[in-house]
Amino acid sequence: MDMQSSNHFDPDGAARMVDVSAKAATERRARASGRVRMLAATCRRIRDQQFAKGDVLAVARLAGIMAAKQTSNLIPLCHPLPLESLEVDFAFSEDTDSGDAWVEITAEVSVAGKTGVEMEALMAVSHAALTIYDMCKSVDRGMVLEAIRLDEKSGGRSGTYRRDSE
């Protein structure tokens, strides 16, 4: 092939999976949280398991667990990681002044690997929240996913991170 020109793109801006081959596989943990704001009446129906699609939190929990295992398939530059434990928990809270209520979601994940599990924990929280939305949307389309964030992570070169209380 007689080629006139062959100029490579400037690598700046090109997406890539960061090379972790020189990193050590250490025990890593991450905890993330978030919440779904809703009408107090919606929250009561969740507690009382009054939704046609089923037990909202049992389904949301499974959705969070299963989505976390898919993290590297969905977050484009995430490395695949063999998760070793994964828990999703829920709590209810209510603001009597505004009449708003929340389902609060916490997810905790651990792995022995070369990269952290922050994204897996955030995936679990987000998908639990999205599933709550899906199961309750017929009665409360105004629900809002809020405050999805990393609370704490440990392991790896960057060490331990702990969110300050707000």
Catalytic residue positions?
A: 134
Determine the Cα–Cα distance for residues 21 and 138; give it in Å rounded to an integer: 47
Tokens representing 56 are 């909202």
**How far does Cα 59 stand from its chain's mean position?**
15
- Interacting positions 72-111 with a copy of itself (CB under 8 A): 72-97, 104, 110-111
Binding of residue 163 to a copy of itself (CB under 8 A): yes
Residues in 22-41 at the binding interface with a copy of itself, rule: CB under 8 A: 27, 34
Q: Are strands 100-113 and 161-162 parallel, antiparallel or unpaired?
A: unpaired
Q: What's the rounded Cα separation, in Å, for the pair 125 and 150?
A: 10
- The answer to the question of residue 159 lying near a copy of itself (CB under 8 A) is no
Q: What is the DSSP letter of 21?
A: T
**Which of positions 41-60 make contact with a copy of itself (CB under 8 A)?**
49, 52-55, 57-59
Rounded to whole angstroms, the Cα distance separating 21 from 142 reads 45
Q: Which of residues 105-144 bind a copy of itself (CB under 8 A)?
A: 110-114, 118-119, 122-123, 126-127, 129-131, 133-135, 137-138, 141-144
| Shortest distance (Å) from residue 54 CB to a copy of itself | 3
